[in-house]
Structure 1
Amino acid sequence: MHTILLCGGSGQRLWPLSGSIRSKMFLQLLPAPGGGTESMIGRVCRQLRQAGLDESLLLVAHQEQTALTQRYTGSKYPIIGEPCKRGTFTAAALGALHLLAAGKAQPEDIICIAPADMFADDDFFRQFHQFEAILADSEAELLLLGTSPSYPSEQYGYIVPVQEDAGGYARVLSFAEKPDASTALELMRKQALWNCGVFASQLSFLLEHLERLGLPVEFAALTEQYPGLPVRSFDKEVAERSTKAVVVRHEGEWSDLGSWDTLTARLPSQVIGVGGLWGECGDSHLINELEVPLHVIGVSGIVAIAGPEGILIADKKDANTIKDILAENSVTEPRYGETGWGSYTVIGRESDGSQLVLTVMLTLLPGHDLPEMTCEHCAKSWMIVSGHGEVWVDGCAAEAAAGGIYTIARGQRHTVRAWSAMKLIEVQIIEAEDNQRRQDC
């Protein structure tokens, strides 16, 4: 069996810490074995490895996040990049066609598709080993993994099974996608399960759906058409159309970490970062990535989240509304991002009409380089804040240490190589007409 781990999604409901540049998969907040913290994607990959499922693991991420995905998974697994985000069905199909084109899978092989943004116990992943036998025994075309709801959630999809068979699975009667609270309660009375977003089938089953939609069944051809494709959900395109589906029940721990309410329930501490909760602050959580202190006094049941992209103070039950607010008030220029080489934070953006001065803090990981580049639209200067490395400008190297200042003219090729962890402040000076050309590119 081959496992395709879907690593897409921007996670706007976890703003301001996640967004289009830093996906929620990479938030280093979950408690790790032996102490410390780990990311969602790091946790899931560790559990797949412990379950003996990592040798056939393929990760699918947005092409701009492949280097970051490698960073958070230790470069241990193959990763392919989506040209753009087109939903779970399209991403799963791209992964399956990659395995087929590379000769790693055949049409009769079993493909398991799973999301990276979940929190489950180790037994959840051990159940994957049963999928091939259950598909054969049930003669089903699709297998899903579900778990018993702990409350009538409006954020999850539901699977309604018929009476369970002796083989540890049940036929699927119907689906319900994110119902209202009263409908969710009625579904629970019918013994419905939360849909965990895990699917297994023969690869040929996915090929049939691609052909039904008039899409190519070759990896290169699908990649070429990718930017023009609509967003398609695996649930809508495959699961809800299947007439021969079975569901396997997981009795242990599972949740989708797609909201501040579900994520904070898994955190090792109520306070992360500078600041504190004071007085009666039951079930409140504070996460602060800024260097300025954040304090909450006498307020229960809230999240107080601060990062370079902004600050969110919300009642936990209402925090998901931030997604709608962001849709109506979109910010085109991100202030923070992570990459394979480190991270960057915009700390100043000043304009007088004729010039834009952009000030950015760059953080480089040890042994990593900034991508070598030539800036045609701006001049810049670097001041090394900490760390040790070297600066290259037009092929000439200079040792870089704290206090060093380097000037790069427009058109000069340049990079920084970090021997130890480095921080540097970059100041870009962009003429107004050049800024317009930069935005148009």
Structure 2
Amino acid sequence: MVEDKSNLILPVILCGGSGARLWPTSRDGKPKQFIDLLGDYSTFQMAVRRVVSHEIFSRPSVILGSATRFIAVEQLAQIGVEADIILEPIQRDSAAAVAVAACRAARRDPKAIVLIVASDHVIEDDAAFAASCEAAIEPARQGHIMALGVVPHRPATGYGYIRLDNPIGDTGAFKVDRFVEKPDARTAQSYVEQGFLWNSGIFLFRADVMLEELERFQPATLAAARKALEHAVTDLDFIRLHEASLRLAPKTSIDYAVMEHTERAGVLPVSFSWSDIGTWEALWDVSTRDRSGNCLRGNVEVSETRNSLVISDDILTTVVGLDDVVVVTKSDAVLVTARHRSELVKDLVTSLRAQQRPEASEHIRMERPWGWHQRVDRGARFQVKRIVVKPGGSLSLQKHHHRAEHWVVVHGIAEVTIEGSVTLVREGEAAYIPAGAIHRLANPGRIPLELIEIQVGSYTGEDDIIRVEDTDGP
């Protein structure tokens, strides 16, 4: 058991990626790791709880993009956990993030043990996970970059595999013979029969060892990470990496950058239940199902349907006489796919983005630090939104060139500022903001403020906002 606080594992949770294969539920504005796909908590919250529930872990760090920073803060507050939050101004995949994490840890202690975990993994047994991390500490101290290799229960084609080499003493761990990419079905079956392990993407290492291997195999990534951290600035409670420096890092994963090349790779076989829920089929696989093999959530009815995943947040969704399908209904998009072909959803999203379809990346409901807004209707010269402002929340002081706005309060009290004049608007009352007027909306009360916003003008896009005083959100 680890008792000396200087020897605690430093957990780092990576929150990059948009989860495109889980579209239309997962989108850039709120990707899969921040969505409660399996119950009361998002997988991000599950990952955080997993590394604060055992005494071998120290205060966690979270690395994520700027667009989701306030979602992360709110979800951390919901579970009562504090963390260091590091913002990536641009996406550079996991190699750069790992390099930043290793550099930060080495500042405190070059031999610090760092744990890298993803925010979208599902692990059912947190105690077994902690025990596995503890078991990997000794070979990591010896200089091995340890991977947790999951004992496969089926020949999965969606995961990479690890082939074991000789044991590392009596630690229960092994040296890695090689990492292999996602195989076809026949090869996957062969790997399982030969005792290969799934590559979970969970790594444990000494900070100085990872820095040495990055210097050897990916010096450009390490140099960019060091400069991005050196020139980072503190923004509210965030550590914002320097964009120009980070941009110099090649966009690559830590697997390609280091793990597939280093002779210092080790692996600890683990048998806890694990999934990265990378596709709708993977979500179906880890979900509770009824006697017909169906996972049904929301406003859903099915008949003569088996082994299917059907989800609807809003409108009634019905499926009749189909097997092995995925049907996901959102207010602005519907997905229907064969369950075993659900990995192709990412290609669909790529196509939608090429067509500049907003549904590819944007949710109708947009989270903001002050609350959220949701589009209700939109036409050639108008848009209707539902807006909810948290108690004490305030929007930016702003103006619009091409539209006027009408605000109708339906719950709570609104503090409305128009050209310096402040008015309280109560339930059933309305405020009018002419085009070009400098204005602000705030909630001075103790209950959520809810209102309907009606925009009228020649252009109602989100980019028609001139912020006079920015409060991190329109």
TM bin, normalised by shorter chain, reads 0.7 to 0.9
Corresponding residue for residue 314 of structure 1? 337
Give distance in 2, aligned partners of 1:357 and 1:326. 28
Q: Does structure 1 conserve the Cα–Cα contact (< 8 Å) formed by 2:410 and 2:452?
A: no
Q: Which moved more, 1:50-59 or 1:257-266?
A: 50-59
Q: Deviations over 1:272-317 (max 9, x none)?
A: 222322x222222221122x21122232222211113411112211
**1:358-405 Cα shifts (integer Å, max 9, x gaps):** 3332334x4252432313434342444643132331454443444332
The yes-or-no answer on 1:205 pairing with 2:209 is yes
Q: 1:72 — aligned with what?
A: 75
| 1:411–1:220 distance in 2 versus 1, CA, 3 Å | farther
Find the counterpart in structure 1 of residue 6 from structure 2. none
Distance across 1 between alignment mates of 2:24 and 2:150? 30
Q: Which residue of 2 aligns with 1:193?
A: 197
Q: Deviations over 1:11-46 (max 9, x none)?
A: 011111111111101112323xxxxx2111111212
Aligned residue in 2 for 1:257: 277
Whole-angstrom CA distance in 2 between matches of 1:338 and 1:263:
24
Equivalent pair of 2:13/2:47 in contact (CA under 8 Å): no
* Alignment partner of 1:131 out of 127, 136, 156: 136
The aligned residue for residue 34 of structure 1 is none
SS in 1 for 2:153: coil
Matched residue SS, 1:274: strand
Written as runs of structure 1 = structure 2, the 5 A alignment for 1:105-124 is 105-120=108-123, 121-122=125-126, 123-124=128-129
Q: Determine whether 1:375 maps to 2:385.
A: no
Distance 1:234 1:400, change over 3 A: farther
Counterpart check, 1:348 vs 2:377: yes
- Partner residue, 1:304: 327
Question: In the alignment, is the contact (CA less than 8 A) between 2:29 and 2:363 conserved in 1?
Answer: no
Q: Distance in 2 between matches of 1:45 and 1:203?
A: 21
Structure-2 separation of matches of 1:350 and 1:327: 26
Partner in structure 1 of residue 29 of structure 2: 21
Q: Which residue of 1 aligns with 2:230?
A: 220
Residue of structure 2 in register with 1:421 after alignment: 448
Separation in structure 1 between the aligned mates of residue 230 and residue 432 of structure 2, nearest angstrom: 43
Q: Which runs of 5+ in 1 are unaligned?
A: 32-36
User: What amino acid is the match of 1:313?
Assistant: V
Q: Distance in 1 between matches of 2:310 and 2:340?
A: 15
User: Equivalent residue of 1:38, what SS?
Assistant: coil
TM-score, with normalisation over the residues of structure 1? Answer: 0.87
Q: 1:346 to 1:380 in 2, by over 3 A?
A: same
SS in 2 for 1:289: strand
Structure-2 change in CA distance of 1:90 and 1:70 (3 Å)? same
Shift of 1:83: 0.3
Deviations 1:291-348 (A, max 9, x none): x211222322222111134111122111221110111221453243333433332233
Query: How many residues are treated as equivalent by the alignment?
Result: 423
Q: Which amino acid aligns with 1:431?
A: S
Q: Distance in 2 between matches of 1:55 and 1:389?
A: 43
Letter of the 1:162 partner, please give it.
Answer: D
The residue that corresponds to 1:180 in the other structure is: 184
Go from structure 1 to structure 2 and tell me whether the alpha carbon gap of 1:420 and 1:380 turns closer, same or farther (over 3 Å shift).
Answer: farther
Q: In structure 1, what is the equivalent of residue 257 of structure 2? A: 237
- Matched-pair identity in %: 23
Determine if contact 1:378/1:428 at 8 Å carries over to the other structure: no
- 1:185, distance to aligned residue in structure 2 (A): 1.7
**Structure 2 contact 143–206 (Cα < 8 Å) conserved:** no
Verify the 8 A CA contact 2:406 2:455 in the aligned structure 1: no
Contact 2:122 2:274 in 1 (8 A): yes
Amino acid of the structure 2 residue aligned with 1:147 = V
Deviations 1:220-248 (A, max 9, x none): 34723223543110111011111111101
Query: 1:411 Cα deviation (Å)?
Result: 4.0
More moved, 225-234 vs 54-63 = 225-234
1:323 and 2:330 aligned: no
In the other structure, the counterpart of 1:388 is 412
